Amino acid sequence: MFIEEDVKLDFCDVLIKPKRSTLKSRKDVSLERAMHYKWSNVHDVVIPLWAANMDTTGTFEIAKAFQMGLCNGYWGEQAMPFVALHKHYDIEDWDSTVYFPEDTNARMVEAEFPSGSNNMAYTCGMNKKEFEKMKVVLEKHHHNGLRYICLDVANGYHQDFLDFVRKVREWAGKRFVIVAGNVVTREMTEALILAGADVVKVGIGPGSVCTTRKVAGVGYPQLSAVMECADAAHGLEGHVMADGGCTCPGDVAKAFGAGADFVMLGGMLAGHDESGGEVVDVDGTAYKRFYGMSSDTAMEKHNGGVATYRASEGKTVTVPYRGAVLDTMKEVLGGLRSACTYVGASQIKYLPKCTSFVRVNRQLNNVFGS
């Protein structure tokens, strides 16, 4: 038994300290970032926000909305946020929903999906069937711009997972960017990068519909996890993605300030027109269902129920209907630009260098509600 005595922090434990800045306007801040990866030949200019690979947020509809945002000038001249498509889409879903614009029968035309699959990642679990399905989809559609793989397991500490990352990298070569996780500590961040991951996904238990900390007693405060894993990854020319724990645009800014190269959003993107989940009417008010991928709901939907040897580690909730996802993303990007102006970061990549955190006992004045 061992206890680490130093304090570990969450987003709610800190605020970003303002500094003198020469930026005159939020318009002076660029949220686009040129990305180069350790193991891949892919070079991208991105808006470094990802919709989580949950079947209520990692949807083709959100990917399409993000692409429409690019056409309408929401993001920048050439970049847009990403979507990690949930792993339960089958091969026919990929073929009929996204590609082959020359066939307009029950498929989206090219004008509706102007960028092909340039902002999508394929999500894969560890079993052989999922790996074989992934190879079929990626080989078939790599030429359409599909070049990101998200290897997703709840517990990234298994030796089998390291072996799987090596296996996928051996197959993928330099053609694909591999995002792998989830972990929360330095040593496993380093191990995953050395095994072939370009980006390590960081977060165990911080999500709004994750109950791992309650059920298993396992986790790590997300701000400290991001800081420590980013430090480890950057020393090896790798990257990290903060996954979970963001409840508002300010938390997203803190994640980037802590060193995250990407931030993945789940709960913040739930409840929209483009999100999955059923619409529920409660006393005349519209809500949508949102649930964790280890919840009873998800297990029943995709696996026929929770296996006898495990417990549910997610919950099912209803969230208020929130309209178009682009409106929420506009708030997130506006908050990020504002944070950058407060500390003098003209580009999102400079935010960690400009950020100093101050410990707080209270973030908000909630006298009139949150």
Alpha helices in 147-295 (DSSP H): 159-172, 186-195, 212-215, 222-234, 249-257
Domain ranges of the chain: 16-359
- 331 bridge partner residues: none
Whole-number Å distance between alpha carbons of 85 and 56? 10
- Please count the other Cβ atoms lying within 10 Å of the Cβ belonging to residue 264: 32
**Does the model's pTM come out above 0.85?**
yes
Whole-number Å distance between alpha carbons of 189 and 193? 6
Annotated catalytic residue: which of 12, 150, 210, 246?
Answer: 210
| pLDDT tens-digit map of 71-108 | 888 887 789 999 999 999 999 999 877 643 433 333 33
The fold of 16-359 is TIM Barrel (3.20.20)
What values do phi and psi take at 363, rounded to 5?
A: -90, -45
| pLDDT tens-digit map of 186-226 | 999 999 999 999 999 999 989 888 888 888 899 999 999 99
| pLDDT tens-digit map of 314-356 | 668 888 999 999 999 999 999 999 999 999 999 999 999 999 9
Q: What DSSP element (H or E) covers 131?
A: helix 128-141
Our answer to whether residue 210 is catalytic in this structure is: yes
Return the ∠ at Cα 20 (arms to 15 and 24), rounded to 5°: 105
Whole-number Å distance between alpha carbons of 254 and 342? 13
